[in-house]
Amino acid sequence: MGNHRGNIVLVGVLDQPGSTNLYMAKAFEKAGFNVIPVNYRTIMEKYGPNTLNHLLFKLSKDNPKLMLYSKFNGIDSMVIGRCSQNDIVKSWFWFMDGINTLSKVPECIQHAQLATFSSFTGLGVLNYVKKKIGTAEGMFHIMEGIDQVVYRPTIVIPEFQCDIAFIGSSNQERLHYLKVLVDAGYNVKAYGQGFNEEIHGHQFNMVCSGAKAMLALSAEYDTQEYFSDRVFRYGACGSFVFHKHAPGLDKYFTHQQDLVYFSDEESLLQVMDYYIKQDKAEERQAISKNILDKVVNTHTWDNVIKQICSIAKI
C-alpha cells in the first residue's frame, strides 16, 4: 500500500533495536501513512530541549494527520499543547508502563490531559489517570501488539536449547524466581539488561524456540490488566508460556489453554514438575499453538494502529 494517507509524526525511541515504537511505525506505514520519526531522548541528550521543541513545532506547522507522543517523559507538557495549535493538529499520548513508573514521571499525567487522545496499555493505569485528572474524555485502554513478521516460530538451534528461558531486564524478583528454578535442577537461560547479553530480532525467536518453556514476569502485580508484553512476543514465537498471575490476565489468556499461571515458588515448581520434568510435550505443544493462534489473530500492531486510526478519525 502506498503512503498516501498523510504524515504521522511519531515521537519516541526509534533508534534502539527492539523498541516498541519501531513496530508502531512499521504498522502505520503498512496502513498507508508516511512516518516522520523523532527520537526525542537522543535529541534531548545531544542538542537540548529547545532544539526538540523547535523541531516539533516546525513539524506541527505542516499539519500532519497525527502527532503521537510515546511516553515523552522529561519533557514539558506545554510542547504538546503548543504543537496541537488549538486542536488543529490531533495529538495522541501513548503510555505503556505501570503506575509505579507513572508516579515517577508526573508530567505524563499532564501529557494525557493536554493531548487530543491518550491511551494506556494497563486498564488500572488508565483508571489511575482518569481519577487524577477527573475526566475520561479522549482516554482509552489499548494494549501493545506484536509484529508477526518479526516475532515468529523458528527452527531449534542447539546453542539456545534449555528447559526454561527468560528475556527481560534483571531485578530482585526475577533473579529470585530464576534462582528457584536453577536450584530445582532446571537448565535455565536468561537474556537482557543485567544478564549476560541482550537479545533482539531473530535471536529472540531462536531463544523462544530453543526453550521448553518461557518465563514471563510483570513489572508490577497490583494494576488491573497490566502484564508483561513478553506474553505477546513469546506467544507469537509459538512458545509454551508460564506467567506469574496478574490481575486481568485471565481475561485475555485462559489458564492451561493458552498459557499457564503460577502465583508463588510452590506453584511455580509444581507447574514445572508437571510440564517439564514429566515431559508433557504434547500438552505444551497444544497450549503453545493456542496462544500462537490467539496472538497473531488478535494482538498485532496492525490491529492496534487500526484502532488508533478509527478513534482519531484519520
pLDDT for the residue numbered 201: 86
The domain that holds 141 is classified in CATH as 3.40.50.2000
- 26 plus 113 within the same structural domain: yes
Strand partners, 259: 255
* Tens place of pLDDT per residue across the chain (314 aa): 456 899 999 999 999 988 999 999 999 999 999 999 999 999 999 999 999 999 999 999 999 999 999 999 889 899 998 898 767 899 999 999 999 999 999 999 999 999 999 999 999 999 999 999 988 889 999 999 999 999 999 999 999 999 999 999 999 999 999 999 999 999 999 999 999 788 888 999 999 999 999 999 998 898 999 998 899 999 999 999 999 999 999 999 999 999 999 999 999 999 999 999 999 999 999 999 999 999 999 999 999 999 999 999 99
Residue 253 lies in a domain: yes
Kindly state whether residues 267 and 186 are assigned to the same domain: yes
95 in a structural domain: yes
β-pairing, 211-216 vs 162-167, is parallel
Residues 173 and 73 in one domain: no
SS3 of 213, please?
A: strand
Identify whether 152 is part of a domain.
Answer: no
Rounded to whole angstroms, the Cα distance separating 260 from 209 reads: 17
Domain extent at residue 216 = 158-298
Residue 1 placed within a domain = no
Per DSSP, 314 falls in state: -
Question: Is 234 domain-assigned?
Answer: yes
124 and 166 co-located in one domain: no
Helix 40-47 vs helix 49-60: crossing angle, to nearest 10: 130
> Is 90:118 a contact under the CB 8 Å cutoff?
no
Q: Can you spell out the DSSP letters for 76-108?
A: -THHHHHHHTTTTS-EEEEE-S-HHHHTT-THH
Query: Is residue 21 domain-shared with residue 138, that is, in the same domain?
Result: yes
- Domain membership flag for residue 150: no
Examine the domain organization and report whether 230 and 173 are in the same domain. yes
Domain membership of residue 2 (yes or no) is no
pLDDT at 217: 94
pLDDT for the residue numbered 3: 62
Distance CA 258, CA 224 (A): 19
In terms of domains, do 170 and 62 share one?
no
62, 75: one domain: yes
The number of folded domains in the chain is: 2
Q: Are residues 86 and 129 in the same domain?
A: yes
Are 122 and 214 in a shared domain? no
- 286 and 215 in a common domain: yes
Based on the domain organization, do 266 and 306 belong to the same domain?
Answer: no
Nearest to 12 by CA among 98, 110, 97: 97
Instruction: Indicate whether 110 belongs to any domain.
Output: yes
Q: Name the one residue in this structure whose C-alpha cell is 527492539.
A: 18
The one-letter amino acid at 309: C
> In a 10 Å sphere around its CB, with 0-12 CB exposed, 13-18 middle and 19+ buried, how is residue 311 labelled?
middle
Set of cell numbers at residue 83: 504543537
Phi and psi based region of residue 225 (left: phi greater than 0; alpha: psi -120 to 50; beta: remaining): left
